[in-house]
């Protein structure tokens, strides 16, 4: 599975790979003050995509292009995403592509599924007031996911 972005008049293929997963973990995972991983990079990017954060699109493409020989820098990726979104007016198709590759690529699918499972399991170990917050967050992300998937079809 692949998605495409035009960068400097060239259509570039972005796809899942070992390098993409490794790059996401190296650069975008969340770590605590001791350096212990709290959230995997792919999960952080995926949540950002669901929340329609344009920065998450840059991070996703930074990872998807990790294995390219002539890899564009983040600034070039930002410019290409701005152009693809009609200068920031319509990011929706880009978010839809992001969900599609993160949920459809074998390199990412398991990590995304694991994120959903962890959110479900976390509720079992929380106090009631924390459960309500996590449940609300889960529902919001799931609704965003359904909406982006529905619009893509």
Ordered alpha helix ranges (H), the chain: 18-28, 41-50, 54-64, 74-84, 92-104, 106-122, 128-152
pLDDT in tens, 11-48: 999 999 999 999 999 999 999 999 888 889 999 999 99
pTM of the predicted protein model: 0.86
Whether the pLDDT of residue 153 is over 60: the answer is no
Q: What confidence tier does 76 reach under pLDDT thresholds 50, 70, 90?
A: very high
Mean per-residue pLDDT of the chain: 90
Judged on CB neighbours under 10 Å (0-12, 13-18, 19+), 37 is exposed
> Cα(132)–Cα(45) distance, rounded to whole angstroms?
24
pLDDT in tens, 118-147: 888 877 777 777 778 878 888 899 899 988
Whether the pLDDT of residue 72 is over 60: the answer is yes
Whether the pLDDT of residue 104 is over 70: the answer is yes
pLDDT of residue 23: 96
């Amino acid at each position: 599975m692949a998605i495409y972005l035009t960068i400097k008049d060239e259509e570039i293929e972005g796809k899942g790979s070992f390098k993409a997963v490794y790059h996401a973990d190296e650069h975008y995972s969340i770590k605590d003050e001791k350096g212990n991983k709290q959230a995997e990079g792919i999960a952080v990017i995926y949540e950002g995509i669901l929340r329609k954060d344009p920065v998450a699109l840059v991070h996703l493409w930074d990872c998807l292009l990790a294995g390219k020989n002539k890899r564009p820098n983040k600034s070039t990726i930002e410019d290409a995403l701005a152009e693809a979104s009609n200068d920031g007016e319509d990011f929706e198709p880009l978010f839809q592509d992001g969900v599609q590759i993160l949920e459809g690529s074998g390199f990412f699918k398991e990590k995304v599924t694991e994120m959903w499972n962890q959110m479900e399991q976390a509720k079992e170990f929380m106090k009631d007031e924390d459960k309500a917050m996590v449940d609300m967050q889960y529902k919001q992300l799931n609704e965003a996911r359904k909406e982006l998937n529905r619009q893509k079809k």
